[in-house]
Structure 1
């Protein structure tokens, strides 16, 4: 895979940290990271690309547009009186980089169907034009199954391959919903679970982040994370079994 599109089921769920982890796993390769539209960051301030390279390591970065308000790219561009890049322009720039680099990562803004321009083109359109797989980053807790299922349906409807799902911030003390979701995510996504990044990973030192990253991602992404072992360790005790044990104790 020379191009991987990284999308989320929403905002602030760990896309940038996951992208940085993929850069860390690709150490030794020529890697480029594309941010089609950076919103909510003023000119001159460090954006997502800076964070990806700080944590993940050396990579060529390309930011196609930046808008100061934390809004969908199309909305932020309209309010700024500017034109945002559409799917065709983004795909052309990514395809050019794919001819020069071993791996190109495209980090979206928000969810899969967030509008990039006034024509309504989205990250899903970019992936379709590139024939590139999409890695979906999802939160751990309650509500994530619906968002992951909708994202998977949207990808299939467009003929876009879903590479898999990564939990963007796995809690140190996962609740019942998070632990149950590990079992259900592959089924509702229609794609494998390919990793779980621990909460707070973005606060690690760059050296620690790069050293630990392989443990967060499955071999398909270049890591050593074992979905079966991880899911088994987090599996909650069935309620029926728990009730039976309680009845016997009484």
Structure 2
């Protein structure tokens, strides 16, 4: 029984606008309300923008850290994001961290990291998906995906596929307050029956949120939702 990351879902008031923004920023193809993110030699995933009438009202529980291979490349990434409709965003940063905090046209936060970041070396354009969560959450995802921990210190954790690519990180306490269902959610594909796989995942510490035809939504030990779907839909 295996599960793999297939996509990251974003709730979006204007799905196609966000798909266009992220496709252009990342240099990837856009198909309808989604962006394909292939990764040579490492697991790739898609961005999917799901229509909602609920606008963003609080900080997201996850955000991308985009890498740069030079100061000029970092400046170009920031300039491109601004030209596409992004903006500078205040999350309480001091301004001397070496990264630039931005937001897309619907205020979803992301960071453009300065060159020379050793932790993100070799990860690719999307160096990390940084999120809120305790050590327990990091351990849960490591076991569920069968990805090794690549950081486990001071209650902060990170995992990465054995094939490399984007890291998933959790910043430890104190967590941000949660305001309703998260706007960003991982979609996982499984090669076993959904009911069987969801039971396995619940045994690891997840709880069931909602079950429907061909799709099960669960929440990890930090109450962050994710979706389980079959890898070959009927």
TM-score range, shorter chain: 0.3 to 0.5
In terms of fraction of residues, the more strand-rich structure is: 2
Q: TM-score, normalised by structure 1?
A: 0.33
In terms of fraction of residues, the more helix-rich structure is: 1
Q: TM-score, normalised by structure 2?
A: 0.35
